[in-house]
Amino acid sequence: MLTEAKNNLKIMFLSIKYNFMKSMENHAAFLTSVIMMIFNNATFIIQWITIFSIKETMGGYTLNDVMLFWAIASGSLGLSHLLFFGVSKIPDYIEEGKLDAYLTQPKNVLCSVITSSLDPSALGDVLYGFIALIIFNFSIKNLIIYPILIIFGCLIYTSMCIIYLSLTFKYTRSSYFTEAIRDVFINLSLYPDVIFPNIIKFLAYTLIPSGLAIWIPVHIIMNFTISKLLILIGSTIFIILLAFYTFNRGLKKYTSSNLVSARI
């Protein structure tokens, strides 16, 4: 089992490496998309500076605290789109029978699908996260722990998308529902948890796990405790296992399109 996991990780790494090389064939387009994404995100800094110039705190949070939410959210979601953008293609692969090409290969189908493509502009989100962290919450400790936390956030967000997109195995066009879930996830991630009512907080820690992916990492940086870290680790492992279970269960119901295709 460990050998199989090791081989799958190796295959995923090679697939991601290939996607990077392919995306960087046109250096100008790659750099432009990255830079434009950074500038697009930076406009929200001006928005928050303006808001906090009127009122110094929001629910007890300062400007630096709010920007920490943005740093974690941008880094986590950006990393997911950078490494696992293939997850967004799950509905198309299922509905158009394109999973056939992955089923014929001696490697994990889900791992192959989610690493089948990347979004170059997402690198801008990841870099913006680091920039926001350095400007508003710089410390050596934060620089060390931040990359670890956004990896957890990335895995939780990606797993959530897999779970909901796997509904396509049973319900056609369920991707529209998943898109709505993702929009809610992003909107919850960008704002302090104290501004939301308890029912929304409950959803953020269960059905739409932005609380697990973003809020807990933010609180770990602000006030580290072992219990918060253990909750984050346990939640990440659970949702990853649930994602694999949901996808593999749906895969048993998959109907081949009999397309003659190959993937190298």
Average pLDDT over residues 11-35: 89
Is residue 261 scored above 60 in pLDDT? no
Could you tell me the sign of the dihedral formed by the alpha carbons of 90, 170, 96, 262, in that order? Answer: positive
Output the pLDDT for position 260.
45
Average pLDDT over residues 147-157: 98
In a domain, residue 77? The reply is yes
Average pLDDT value over all residues in the chain: 90
In a domain, residue 159? The reply is yes
Which residue range forms the structural domain that includes residue 72?
A: 2-251
Specify the number of domains making up the chain. Answer: 1
Digit-coded pLDDT (tens) for 203-222: 999 999 999 999 999 999 99
In the three-class reduction of DSSP (H, G, I as helix; E, B as strand; rest coil), residue 75 is classed as helix
Please give the Cα distance from 146 to 133 (Å, whole number). Answer: 8
Output the pLDDT for position 2.
67
In a domain, residue 63? The reply is yes
263 pLDDT band, cuts 50/70/90, is very low
Is residue 60 scored above 80 in pLDDT? yes
List Cβ neighbours of 155 (8 Å cut-off, separation of 6 or more). 236, 239, 240
Higher-pLDDT residue of 212 and 264 is 212
In a domain, residue 261? The reply is no
Is residue 46 scored above 50 in pLDDT? yes
110 pLDDT band, cuts 50/70/90, is very high
Q: What is the pTM of this model?
A: 0.92
Output the pLDDT for position 157.
97
146 pLDDT band, cuts 50/70/90, is very high
Please give the Cα distance from 246 to 67 (Å, whole number). Answer: 34
